[in-house]
């Protein structure tokens, strides 16, 4: 695990995939515009978890988050008056989006700040255009007021279930967050503080994972191995533990004919490992 992976895992996002390169590209990119990451993927809330975990892993003093699908509260209305004429001009509505972007501008003037805008597919297309101009100019305009962000201190993370406005995509660094980890990891017993006597069990489990197109993360695998030592005594238990602890399990594969032989072999190795005379093999619905 890289230091970044470890810090992100501590903040709730664990993955075998390594994002160090992506982060370096973002942080070292052109500071003539506000640096922006466009977080894409096939699971919206995993993208949200990624953004928040990365923000806290970077240890920026300020992290601001706004979900555009949240129930809209009544906007703050600022009454603007023409002092010379003594008459009332148009009122300006300060929406939650206006507020969070202007706050990010203010914080970035003195300290590193991350602004996370989530579920941008719910935003009016005009807001996408405004965000593009904001990233280019570092100016967020509300009525006659302009808020200036520091291009050096502000990072923006954008999350959307639908493609962003083309120009907004072009000035953002895109990263794809998978539903589940796919990067293969050669785990060894010592990685979990275990002896070599469990190696055959892990090899048998690996054959199960190959059929499931599954690569458990370190903590997921650790929980499964704990269940091997304390709970799993039949196919039912093994299937429950794999499905229960691991993200991205395809249930159709879990109950397929392809898995019967690997499961039987895994149960046999668990039987030998825990020293049981017989382990019941049966099929169940999860």
Kindly state whether residues 155 and 261 are assigned to the same domain: no
Q: Are residues 22 and 135 in the same domain?
A: yes
The range of the structural domain enclosing residue 152 comes to 3-177
Q: Is residue 150 part of a domain?
A: yes
Residue 92 has pLDDT above 70, yes or no: no
The answer, yes or no, to whether residue 144 has pLDDT greater than 90, is no
Residue 286 lies in a domain: no
Query: Number of structural domains, the chain?
Result: 2
* Per-residue pLDDT at 31: 73
Task: For residue 276, name the pLDDT band (cuts at 50, 70, 90).
Answer: low
Residues 29 and 169 in one domain: yes
In this prediction, residue 43 has a pLDDT band, given cuts at 50, 70 and 90, of confident
Give start and end residues of each alpha helix (H) in 125-275. 125-137, 166-170, 199-211, 218-230, 235-245, 251-254, 260-274
Percentages helix, strand, coil for the chain, rounded to the nearest 5?
45, 15, 35
Q: Are strands 76-78 and 92-94 parallel, antiparallel or unpaired?
A: antiparallel
CB atoms within 10 A of CB 234: 19
Q: Which of the listed residues 177, 203, 230 is the one where a domain comes to its end? A: 177
Report the distance separating Cα 254 and Cα 259, nearest Å.
7
In angstroms, the CA 37 to CA 177 distance is 12
67 and 108, same domain (yes or no): yes
- Flag whether 88 is in a domain: yes
Strand order in the sheet with 62-67: 62-67, 113-118, 154-159, 35-41, 173-177
* 242 and 130 inside one domain: no
For 252-268, the pLDDT digits (tens) are 999 999 999 999 999 99
Per-residue model confidence as pLDDT tens digits over 204-235: 999 999 999 999 999 999 999 999 999 999 99
> For position 30, what pLDDT does the model report?
76
Same domain, 33 and 125: yes
Residue 240 and residue 107 share a domain = no
Pick from 177, 208, 224: which residue ends a domain?
A: 177
CB 205 within 8 A of CB 273: no
Same domain, 89 and 214: no
| Mean pLDDT over each residue of the chain, to the nearest integer | 88
Query: Is there a single domain that holds both residue 121 and residue 213?
Result: no
Q: Give the model's pLDDT for residue 72.
A: 55
pLDDT at 281 exceeding the cut of 50: no
- The answer on 142 and 15 residing in a single domain is yes
164 and 227 in a single domain? The answer is no
Is there a domain that residue 281 lies in? no
**Maximum pairwise Cα distance, the chain:** 95
Predicted TM-score (pTM) of the model is 0.76
Task: Answer yes or no: is 282 within a domain.
Answer: no
User: Which of 137, 157, 177 delimits the end of a domain?
Assistant: 177
- Regarding whether 164 and 222 lie in a shared domain, the answer is no
């Amino acid at each position: 695990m890289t230091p970044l992976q470890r810090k992100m895992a501590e903040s709730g996002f664990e993955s075998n995939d390594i994002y160090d390169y992506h982060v370096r590209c973002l942080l070292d990119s052109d500071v003539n515009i506000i640096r922006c990451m466009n977080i894409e993927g096939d699971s919206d809330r995993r993208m949200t978890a990624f953004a928040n975990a990365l923000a806290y892993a970077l240890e920026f003093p300020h992290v601001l988050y706004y979900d555009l699908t949240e129930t809209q509260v009544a906007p703050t209305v600022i009454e603007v008056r023409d002092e010379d004429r003594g008459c009332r001009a148009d009122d300006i509505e300060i929406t939650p989006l206006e507020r969070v972007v202007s706050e990010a501008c203010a914080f970035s003037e003195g300290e590193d700040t991350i602004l996370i805008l989530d579920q941008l597919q719910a935003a009016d297309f005009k807001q996408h255009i405004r965000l593009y101009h904001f990233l280019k100019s570092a100016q967020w305009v509300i009525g006659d007021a302009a808020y200036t962000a520091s291009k050096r201190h502000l990072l923006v993370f954008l999350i959307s279930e639908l493609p962003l406005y083309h120009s907004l995509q072009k000035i953002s660094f895109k990263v794809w967050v998978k539903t589940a980890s796919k990067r293969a990891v050669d785990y060894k017993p010592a990685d979990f503080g275990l002896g070599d006597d469990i190696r055959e069990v892990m090899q048998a489990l690996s054959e199960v994972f190959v059929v499931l197109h599954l690569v458990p993360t370190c903590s997921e695998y650790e929980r499964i191995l704990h269940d091997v030592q304390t709970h799993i005594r039949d196919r039912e238990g093994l299937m429950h533990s794999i499905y229960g602890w691991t993200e991205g399990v395809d249930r159709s594969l879990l109950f397929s004919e392809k898995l019967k032989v690997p499961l039987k072999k895994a149960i046999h190795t668990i039987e030998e490992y825990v020293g049981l005379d017989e382990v019941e093999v049966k099929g169940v619905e999860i």
